[in-house]
Amino acid sequence: MKRLILGIVCLVALGVQAQELNCTVTINSDKIEGSNKSVFETLKQTITEYMNNNRWTNMTFAESEKIECNMMIIVNSVTDNLFTCEMQLQAKRPVYNTTYTTPLINFKDNNFVFTYQEYDRIEYQQNVFTNNLTAMLAYYVYLIIGHDCDSYQRLGGTPYFQACEDIVSACQSASMEATEVKGWKAFDSNRNRYALINNLMDEAFKKYREYYYTYHRLGLDMMTSNVANARATIADGLPVLREANRARPATYVINTFLDAKADELTNIFMKGTDKEKKAVYEILMDIDPTRNNLYEKIIESK
């Protein structure tokens, strides 16, 4: 499986020109009145080309190995070229020797705000702030790649999370509209772009990131070899999430993990042993009680 081999050498520069993402972009402008919606179609095409046509790393991906992702932008208002939006980002990767794809990210940004005029070009220049749209998109590209690499190699996503951190730093000192800078602020919210990458780069969450690798590479990817052992591996590591959450309650990175994995975890452990069901249910209810109706399926299953 070439994709797996690429993951194992995630930090090696292979020197072959290739893009990393296959991103489907959707823009919902239903809230905006008027019949002329061409700017939204132009924006969609511009973002799609930016995400998919740039080369973001030194890794090489065959067409079939590109990281599948979806970006939905909901436009709430447009005033003097200032777009106030929400953005939902999802990314996934294949599970070894199956047709199943597992979600890596299921993330919502409620402060996706940027200035844009139709036919504006967006070009990313490393370590140079050009505009907020360019910066946000680059941040999310590296966030996706970082998660993908972390799932194949222990802490393999570090260089790409570092790139996210560099973008955050640049945006915090850049000149932009007050509404645009909101998602980058250190103390504005514990659920924004700054908070997420701060968690991922924090040494305190190193064990969480190592479990992210264990979950995917030693758990999901081993399901076809020995489903019982693979499921046990995922269950055995799950207390790491509770430890991180207890150390820092409502930690954003743990929330984002469960936003992506809650359904998958439920499906996995509905088929688990009684001991696994009880242990996993208690952990998930401790750290994520709002999804109690979902997690109750684990202990109710026969």
pLDDT at 14: 35
Segment 92-104 shows an average pLDDT of: 97
Quick one: tokens of 302?
């026969």
DSSP state, residue 271: T
- Using CA atoms, how far apart are residues 225 and 214, in angstroms rounded to an integer? 15
| Other Cβ atoms within 10 Å of 251 Cβ, number | 23
The predicted-structure confidence for 211-226, as pLDDT tens digits, reads as follows: 999 999 999 999 999 9
The predicted-structure confidence for 105-130, as pLDDT tens digits, reads as follows: 999 999 999 999 999 989 888 878 89
pLDDT at 13: 34
Asked if 102 and 264 count as a contact pair (C-beta separation under 8 A), the reply is yes
pLDDT at 2: 42
The predicted-structure confidence for 226-264, as pLDDT tens digits, reads as follows: 999 999 999 999 999 999 988 888 789 999 999 999 999
- What does each C-alpha distance from 294 to 265, 275, 289 come to in angstroms? 10, 18, 10
- Higher per-residue confidence, 88 vs 9: 88
The predicted-structure confidence for 256-269, as pLDDT tens digits, reads as follows: 999 999 999 999 99
| Other Cβ atoms within 10 Å of 215 Cβ, number | 25
User: Is the model's pLDDT at 71 over the cut of 70?
Assistant: yes
Nearest-10 Cα torsion for 257, 258, 262, 266: 90
User: Is the model's pLDDT at 4 over the cut of 70?
Assistant: no
3-class DSSP string for 21-68: EEEEEEEECCCCCCCCCHHHHHHHHHHHHHHHHCCCCCCCCCHHHCEE
- Using CA atoms, how far apart are residues 274 and 294, in angstroms rounded to an integer? 17
pLDDT at 140: 98
Under the banding of pLDDT at 50, 70 and 90, the label for residue 18 is low
Segment 194-198 shows an average pLDDT of: 95
pLDDT at 11: 38
User: Is the model's pLDDT at 10 over the cut of 80?
Assistant: no
- Using CA atoms, how far apart are residues 20 and 44, in angstroms rounded to an integer? 19
Q: What mean pLDDT value characterizes the chain?
A: 92
In the chain, the amino acid numbered 28 is N
Quick one: tokens of 256?
């984002």
